């Protein structure tokens, strides 16, 4: 019987994940039935959202559950219409070197992604579409407004910045990151003002760079950064709550109540502490999750709206495919310069945990992927 190697979680992490939190195990591969496709993995996505999912681990399972998310692979056998041996496909079979997937759960790479297949996990995948949702559907920056993006050099934040500037509405775009090289990168893709949060506090930087306040905030970081941004929001401001990498590795991120792992969006928890509002906690396996837009009141009569979101449903929708095509057109016409920067690690499944930890600690430059060699 053929087998696949998978990475699975073996313990609940305390702080930054380590090699000891994972194991590589061999599992038997099922036969390829009608409507299914066998794939050999070539590229694996490594993303911040995977860290809070680790908090839902409730002990070892038999057979173990593969960890991770998006991967790209080459079809080795197909019994599904529309897929042939050699096709490059993308799906969510996770951190595994091989998989047998139901055809409806994978799709071929679009022609715009074939030259650089990893871009299907990045600019033309969940990262690009997450940025598109935040800019085009939630923040919708207007003429003359000020936009702040935390984690502005990351795989999502960089595209947020470029999508914002392509609107050409005299928008002031501010970004933050944690190294000089990342500040330089943000400036190269159109950010007007940047600052290093390790050298200047976020409240001080926003006071200096946004003296008239912020109209839109794209939150990749959470924690104190998000709270500082909230305090600078102008009335009518919009916040897109995407991630909270600042607190993903906090040892008190999760609270166990009975058999459930309970964790609130760090953004919501921070707001409760700051403006004494009673927001419900989110219960689930992923941070944030799809939530309705909410309006809150701040000091001075200011009202702002915010929405926590994930890209899942949009990613597989007709609208998501249309957005992907739009992004490809904008890259082609130069509207998204330097788009899709990637940090590619070449290695084996055993290298994934340390690549994951490196990304979570800010050591990557762009979208983090691992290319199996």
Per-residue model confidence as pLDDT tens digits over 34-47 = 999 999 999 999 99
Whether 364 contacts 185, CB under 8 Å: no
Instruction: Give pLDDT, residue 146.
Output: 98
Look-up of token digits 């993006």: 149
Indicate the angle between helix axes 157-165 and 180-188, nearest 10 degrees: 30
Whether 69 contacts 50, CB under 8 Å: yes
- Residue 21 — pLDDT band, cuts 50, 70, 90? very high
Instruction: Give pLDDT, residue 327.
Output: 93
More confident residue, 251 or 86: 86
Distance CA 43, CA 71 (A): 6
Distance CA 161, CA 200 (A): 21
- Whether residue 353 is predicted with pLDDT greater than 90 in this model: the reply is yes
Instruction: Give pLDDT, residue 269.
Output: 44
- Whether residue 176 is predicted with pLDDT greater than 60 in this model: the reply is yes
Distance CA 61, CA 162 (A): 43
- Whether residue 248 is predicted with pLDDT greater than 60 in this model: the reply is yes
Nearest CA to 99 out of 176, 8, 4 is that of 4
As a whole number, mean pLDDT of residues 139-152 equals 96
By the 10 Å C-beta count (0-12 exposed, 13-18 middle, 19+ buried), 204 is classed as exposed
As a whole number, mean pLDDT of residues 263-271 equals 45
Distance CA 130, CA 312 (A): 9
How large a percentage of the chain has pLDDT more than 70? 84
- Whether residue 79 is predicted with pLDDT greater than 60 in this model: the reply is yes
List all residues 6 or more positions away from 140 whose beta carbon is below 8 Å from its beta carbon: 216, 238
- Whether residue 134 is predicted with pLDDT greater than 70 in this model: the reply is yes
How much is the pTM? 0.83
Find the Cα–Cα–Cα–Cα dihedral 284, 4, 104, 31, rounded to 10°.
-130
Nearest CA to 197 out of 215, 214, 179 is that of 179
């Amino acid at each position: 019987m053929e087998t696949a190697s998978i990475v699975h979680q073996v313990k609940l992490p305390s702080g930054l994940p380590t090699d000891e939190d994972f194991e590589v195990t061999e599992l038997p591969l099922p036969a390829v039935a009608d409507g299914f496709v066998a794939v050999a993995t070539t590229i694996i996505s490594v993303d911040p959202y995977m860290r809070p999912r680790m908090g839902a681990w409730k002990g070892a399972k038999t057979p173990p559950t593969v960890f991770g998310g998006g991967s790209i692979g080459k079809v080795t056998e197909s019994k599904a219409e529309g897929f042939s041996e050699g096709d490059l496909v993308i799906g969510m079979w996770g951190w595994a070197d091989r998989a047998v997937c139901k055809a409806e759960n994978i799709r071929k790479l679009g022609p715009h992604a074939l030259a650089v297949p990893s871009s299907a996990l990045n600019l033309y995948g969940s990262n690009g579409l997450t940025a598109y949702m935040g800019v085009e559907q939630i923040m919708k920056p207007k003429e003359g407004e000020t936009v702040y993006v935390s984690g502005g050099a990351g795989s999502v934040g960089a595209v947020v910045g470029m999508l914002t500037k392509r609107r050409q509405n005299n928008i002031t775009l501010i970004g933050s990151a944690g190294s000089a090289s990342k500040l330089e990168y943000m400036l190269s893709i159109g950010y007007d003002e940047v600052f290093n949060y390790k050298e200047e506090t976020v409240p001080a930087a926003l006071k200096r760079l946004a003296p008239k306040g912020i109209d839109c905030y794209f939150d990749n970081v959470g924690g104190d950064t998000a709270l500082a941004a909230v305090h600078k929001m102008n009335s009518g401001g919009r916040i897109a709550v995407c991630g909270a990498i600042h607190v993903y590795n906090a040892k008190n991120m999760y609270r166990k109540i009975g058999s459930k792992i309970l964790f609130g969006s760090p953004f919501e928890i921070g707001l409760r502490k700051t403006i004494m509002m009673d927001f419900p906690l989110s219960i689930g396996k992923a941070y944030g999750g799809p939530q309705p837009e909410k309006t809150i009141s701040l000091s001075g009569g200011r009202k702002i709206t915010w929405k926590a979101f994930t890209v899942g449903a949009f990613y597989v929708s007709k609208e998501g495919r249309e957005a992907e095509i739009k992004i490809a057109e904008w890259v082609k016409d130069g509207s998204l310069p330097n788009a899709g920067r990637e940090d590619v690690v070449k290695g084996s499944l055993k290298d994934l945990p340390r690549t994951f930890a490196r990304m979570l600690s800010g050591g990557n430059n762009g979208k983090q992927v691992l290319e199996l060699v």
